[in-house]
Structures are given as C-alpha cells and as structure tokens.
Amino acid sequence: MRRINYTFLLILFFTAAAVSLLEYCSPKTKNETTTLAGNTYVGDQQCKSCHAQQYNDWLRSDHFKSIQTATDSSVLGNFNNASFDADGVHSTFFKKNGKYFINTQGEDGKNHDYQVLYTFGHFPLQQYLIAFPGGRMQATRASWDCKQHKWFHQYAGTKIDSHDWLHWTGNAQNWNTMCAECHSTNLQKNYNIEKDSYDTHFSVLNVSCEACHGPGKKHIDYINGEDYKKGNKIAHSLLQLPKGVDQLSQINTCAPCHAVQSDIDANAISSDELLYNHIPVIPNTERFYADGQVKEEDYNYASFLQSKMFRRGIKCSNCHNPHSGKIYFTGNQTCLQCHAKTFDSPQHHFHATNTEGALCINCHAPGKYYMGNDLRHDHSFRIPRPDLSVQYATPNACNNCHKDKSAQWAAAAVVKWYGPKRKYHFAEDLIPGSFGDEKSEPHLLRLMSDTAVPSIIKATAANYLGNIHSTTSLQTLLNCLKNPNAQVRYEALRSLASFSSLANKTAIADALNDKVRAVRIAAAQTLNILGANDLPEQYTGAYQSAKAELERFLLYQADYAHGNINLGDYYQRNNNFSEAERFYKRAIQKDSLANLARLNLSVTLNSEGKNKEALLVLETAVKTDNKNDQAWMNLGLLYAELKDIPKALAAFAKSDALHSQNTRLYYNYGLLLQQNGKTQQAINVLQKGLQLNNTDESLNYAMAYVFMQNNQPAKAMQYARVLKNSNPNNPDYQQLFQALGL
C-alpha cells in the first residue's frame, strides 16, 4: 500500500467469472507504445546485445520475476489437486487444460473456480493474479511459501469477511492500484472514475531495463547513428540513471517503488526532485515506532534517509548489484567495504565469531517479517539503544534475539561493554516529540535547529508541530517554508492547516509558486482548509493553478477507498455537498469498514438538512465498530440536535467510557449535562477534558460558565484567567470578564 491519508477534521459535530484480462491489461502494440518527451519504450530485448552482463544479471533478479505469465516454469505452487484450509476458508489448487486454477472463497462468500493469469513474485513467497470484470486484477490471499513449500494465508489467523476491504477480492488486494506500478514497466493505470473500471496497460510485463533507465528508443537511435560513430558524445547517451550517477539521482530513481508513497498524477514529469511526482511517507508513528524504527512496511526509503550512511553519501549500488539486486558480499563483508576490520571482532560486538550475534545486520539493521514470511531489514542502520526501550518501550536489536531478557538487562550489558555514556541520537528527541503534549515542543524545536539531524526527521518534527498550537510552533513552521528540503516544506504546510486562527497567509501563498509540485499541492490544500477568499489578488492565478494540481492528485486516488474519503473531504470544505456525499458513499462501497467515511458523510448529510439519513449512517457506524469513540460522539451530537436528550447523553457517555481523547466530546457532554440540571456530573466531565488539554479555551469557558450559572464566581475565576491570558480580546469572553472584574 502506498498511499498517504489526509484526515478531515469533523465540523459537526457476482459471482465473478475469471474472464480474460488480456484485452484490459496488456502490453501496448508497436503503434501504441507510450511516448515520454518524444521518446518511446522499446523493451529489454533491445538492450541485451550491448549490455549482456547487465542483462544476464537482471534475469536472476526479483525485478525480472516480479510478475510472469502463469506457465509450468513460472508457477512454483503445488497445483496438483492440493487443498488448504485456514481462517474459515477451504481452497483447492488444480490444473485443467494446461491452465492453473484456484477454487476459493469469492466476494459473495461462496467458493468459485478462478483461473490464474499471472504469478506475482517468486521468493520467499509467490502470489497469483486473478482477473475480474472492469479490468481489475486481484492478488490471492492464499500464497505459496517457497522456503517451506506449502500454502499459507496472508494475515494468518485472521478471519476476513468476503466484503472486507482486506479480502483478496477487495480494494486492498487490487493489483491495478496497489501493486502494478512497481511490478511492471511504464504502467498506465487508466482508471475510469465514472465506470469504476480499469484499462491498464504496460510496455513490459515485469520490471525491466527501461523501468529505471527510461524509454530507450532515442538511446538506441543515437548509438546506431552517425553522431556516436563520429565520436560526438551526448551526456548519458540519452538514458536516465547512467553509470556513476550521483547519490540522490540514484536513490530517487529507486524510491518510487522502494518507498511507501502516493503518486501525484498519471503523467510523471522528468525531475531530479522526488516530490515532483511522488509524496513519500515520513517516519512518524502512523507507520513507524516513535524512534523512527520501521514498524509497518516502508520499503527502505524513509528508513535509509535517517541513516548516517545516507548522510555520508552512500547509495543503493554501494551494497546492491543494481541489475541482479543481490548484495555484493556475504556476511559482514558488505559492511567492511567501508568500516574497519576491528568492528568485525568480539572486542566490538561481544559475540562469538561466526554466530548470528556477530552479524552486523542483526544489530544495526534488524529484520521483521512481512507478508507472512518475507524478512526485510531496517535500513536506518542505527546503534541499538535498549536504554530508550527502558524509558519509552521502543524496540531494540538486543532484545530481538534475547527475547527472554528485559530491556533493562540489555541496557546494562551495553553500559558494561561500551561505558555509561551514549552518543546523542535524534531518537532521544523524536520519541518525546511524538507525544503531542506541551512537553513535546522543546524536543521538536531541538530537532529543527540541529544541523546534524536528517532532513526526513526534520520533516517528521514539522509534522508533529502541527499538534502543538503555540506561537513558537507556528513561527517554526513558517520558517520551514524556506527550508531547502522539499519534504520539510511539504510537511510544514500540512501542519499549518491546523492553525485555524492564522491571520497572515502570505507565507503559505508564496509556496503556491514553489518549484516542487507536491509543495504547491500542499499549499493549495492548506489555503483551501483555512480559506482562500481573502488572499491578495496577486496570488489568485497561482492558487487556481495549484488548486487544479490538487484536484488532479485527489482524483488520481479515486480508485482507492481512502482516496474517495480525501475527495469527499475536499468537496465538503468547498461546500459541494452533493459531490462530497457521492465520494463518501463510494469509499464505503469500496471498504465497508471505512467508518471515517461514515462520520464525514454524516457531516455532509447534516449540512444538507438530511438528518434522518445522517442518523442512519451514524447508527451503522457504531454497529460496524462499537468501540469507535468518535462515532459515538457524533451520534450524541446529532441526537442533541434532534432534541433526543436521553439518547444524546447515552451516546456521549459511551464515547467517554471508551476514553475519547477528543476535547470536543467533553465540552458538548458537559454543557448538555449542565443544561439538564446535572451540575456535578457536568463539572466532572469538563475536568476530564481539561486533563487532556488544560489550555483549551472552550473547556475553560464552559467550566467558568457552569460555575457562574451556579453562583460560584470564585471557582469560575481560575478558568476565566486562562481565557484572559490566552485570548483577552475575544468578544465572546468580555461579558464574563466584566462579571468577574477582569
């Protein structure tokens, strides 16, 4: 999955026969070959005569075997009438008339025969691609373990409903949007939003030469032409990613597939800046541990950019053969290309030679298993810090092996071997900075000011600063807009959207003319959230242009469930409620568990005056996820608006019992209790909210209001003083100030 989620702040409150996909998803014909800046893709066969060694290396690579037509030579799984039972599903695997079939549970909950068209991957596991109507191809949950030679399930031990987004027939396992771009060359997704269908094409079935080096026709014409023969050299011979390319150019060529990222548009534009065509995720706690270690799949990019190796200029091809993908050396020899031999000794690692504990990667690039059996190593290449595990419960490499020992035991061993002092690592500030409370800000500011901190960590700090609504955080984020790193600028703009009282939008508007497309999109989105009606006239053209880029970006994600939520949010903000309603409903259709879509849909329906429909949506939301505190809160708000006070109070109480972290719950719940004569309960509820955020103006105002209503001005005073200090000129507070003599 390579998508970024934009969260909208709530203001309310077939039996599908396996048809052939070849007409939908196939190589272009010679007359249809995709053109890029006048160049065309010619296929790998045109490369091997001059680049035999590289071609032969490629034949051994995962890239070559990324996807193959299902044949006796490519299919590794047991299709000799084998059967497999797991997670409530019975599957059989067989051959018929030379073709491969799987009989398994379909999207209607019943078993059907599905023809395998393609193999997907080859080691350590292989999945299979099945064609569905509308040009869809789906990756099977039943996968072949190439190590143990047996069938197994993705998400083992989990029963997945046939209508679930995670079901193999669902949106999460859709090849066209989730997988295809990084498993084929020059993929054109061609999603039709009106028909909800695909006409997907590619130039080469697998990841071939031109996936990295770009279309090759101009290169071949040049090599065969008179200019080359006469010695008239052209830099890079009209290819991308030539031999000896600089670090960032190489990494940015690999990153679109070796990062979790969102594609900005169907039309990629040649650029040395990754964020011109893609928006990669940052190592925040959505996918990573608080210290930046990998938690969910990250495909290496966001990890590697944290590392000292990246800072020292190391690139992918220093360790990996770029054509075979294999590591150059076995054991510790890859590391010893640069690091002193003394590191490969018990005096450094304190483990017996030739054991697992003596391997550099087990301490500095520990691995995790993904997709059931695929071990992938964390490329942040960090020194283990069990002392941080003791303090913050983050993982560490020592306890990955010594599972029977405590983090304190591991920390003590490190002190014994290396002394009591640890060299500073940005994790010491990144972890507390991720908490989002009043103590986080100094840690984040330290990360932003330290020139040795990697830019991707500064981008993460900018992301976290959006949760701390202080003048210092605001100014720091505005300063970030001049940062030379595009990811820092992008995240700063995203965070500025949460500063709703921002009066001066000029700095954000200046970013509408940024040279990087993702930054312009973020600027347009932030201004769209804050309101762009009062922008100076000089920015009108730039805003409309960047807003058009934002719309294209959002529409490109419309085949993905959360992409429809993003579109709904966008139209909601622009008061286009009919379109917002349309896309929220599309999101629910693609993912029946997408409660965020239901919550936002209820807001839209409420805005349209369709409260009966909104109520049905929210009642479905709490049935879908009975532990969703936000759904219960919104249901309470709607019941209150409908004057059904008992149900409103019951819904608020349910949200409270689920330990909601939303201060708006406690504000609305407390006031409703007060209005219904339950003063002490109201005070208790408002106090809960203030424990979450003691400077929240609404809660302090509500508390002062309750005490004034009950003739207790002395108790109201402490809350009124908070308002006087934070927002003394707010006209809504003046009557309270006067009554208390402030």
91: nearest Cα among 20, 151, 149? 151
How would you classify residue 134: left for phi > 0, otherwise alpha for psi between -120 and 50, otherwise beta? left
Contact 573, 582 (CB under 8 A): no
Alpha carbon 98 to its chain centroid, in Å, reads 41
pLDDT in the model for residue 212: 95
Q: How confident is the model at residue 19 (pLDDT cuts 50, 70, 90)?
A: very low
* Preceding peptide of 242 cis, ω within 30°: no
68: nearest Cα among 117, 132, 21, 125? 117
User: Is residue 618 predicted with pLDDT exceeding 70?
Assistant: yes
Where b means 16+ CB within 10 Å and e means fewer, 11-47 reads: ebbeebebeebeebbebbeeeebbebeebbbbebebb
pLDDT in the model for residue 37: 59
CA atoms within a 13 Å half-sphere pointing along the CA-CB vector of 326: 13
pLDDT in the model for residue 503: 65
pLDDT in the model for residue 36: 52
User: Is residue 13 predicted with pLDDT exceeding 60?
Assistant: no
CA distances to 357, 668, 681, 726, 740 from 716, in Å: 62, 18, 16, 16, 8
C-alpha 314/C-alpha 304 separation (Å) is 10
pLDDT in the model for residue 522: 98
C-alpha 479/C-alpha 252 separation (Å) is 26
HEC sequence for 33-61: CCEECCEECCCHHHCCCCCHHHHHHHHCC
Sign, CA dihedral 345-351-353-359, equals negative
In 3-state terms, what secondary structure has residue 126?
strand
Q: What is the mean pLDDT of the chain?
A: 92
C-alpha 699/C-alpha 688 separation (Å) is 10
User: Could you tell me where the beta strands, DSSP code E, fall in 455-539?
Assistant: none
Who's near 388: CB < 8 A, 6+ residues apart? 291, 394, 396, 427, 428, 431
Helix orientation angle between 595-607 and 577-590, rounded to the nearest 10 degrees: 160
Q: Is 729 exposed, middle or buried (0-12, 13-18, 19+ CB in 10 A)?
A: exposed
pLDDT in the model for residue 35: 45
316: nearest Cα among 240, 238, 381, 252? 252
pLDDT in the model for residue 636: 97
Which two three-digit tokens encode residue 465? 């600063």
The residues pairing with 368 across neighbouring beta strands, listed in sequence order, are 376
Question: How does DSSP classify residue 291?
Answer: T
Q: How confident is the model at residue 501 (pLDDT cuts 50, 70, 90)?
A: low
C-alpha 525/C-alpha 295 separation (Å) is 29
Alpha carbon 435 to its chain centroid, in Å, reads 19
> Above pLDDT 70, what percent of the chain?
95
C-alpha 453/C-alpha 178 separation (Å) is 32
Instruction: Report, as an integer, the average pLDDT of 685-701.
Output: 93
What does the pLDDT look like over 91-115, one tens digit per residue? 999 999 999 999 999 999 999 999 9
CA dihedral 545, 551, 554, 558 (to 10 degrees): -150
User: Is residue 21 predicted with pLDDT exceeding 90?
Assistant: no
What does the pLDDT look like over 279-300, one tens digit per residue? 999 999 999 999 999 999 999 9
pLDDT in the model for residue 288: 98
Going by their DSSP bridges, the two strands 99-105 and 26-27 should be labelled as unpaired
> pTM here?
0.90
Domain residue extents for the chain? 26-209, 213-277
CA angle, 511 then 516 then 520, to 5°: 40
User: Could you tell me where the beta strands, DSSP code E, fall in 529-598?
Assistant: none
> Above pLDDT 90, what percent of the chain?
87
Instruction: Report, as an integer, the average pLDDT of 362-385.
Output: 96
Give the H or E element holding residue 201. strand 201-202
- Helix, strand, coil in percent for the chain, rounding step 5: 45, 10, 40
pLDDT in the model for residue 24: 35
Instruction: Report, as an integer, the average pLDDT of 604-615.
Output: 96
Who's near 350: CB < 8 A, 6+ residues apart? 413, 417
Contact 706, 674 (CB under 8 A): yes
pLDDT in the model for residue 605: 97
pLDDT in the model for residue 469: 86
User: Could you tell me where the beta strands, DSSP code E, fall in 485-634?
Assistant: none
Q: How confident is the model at residue 314 (pLDDT cuts 50, 70, 90)?
A: very high
Lowest-confidence region among 2-11, 124-133, 202-211, 574-583: 2-11
User: Is residue 18 predicted with pLDDT exceeding 50?
Assistant: no
What does the pLDDT look like over 239-249, one tens digit per residue? 998 888 999 99
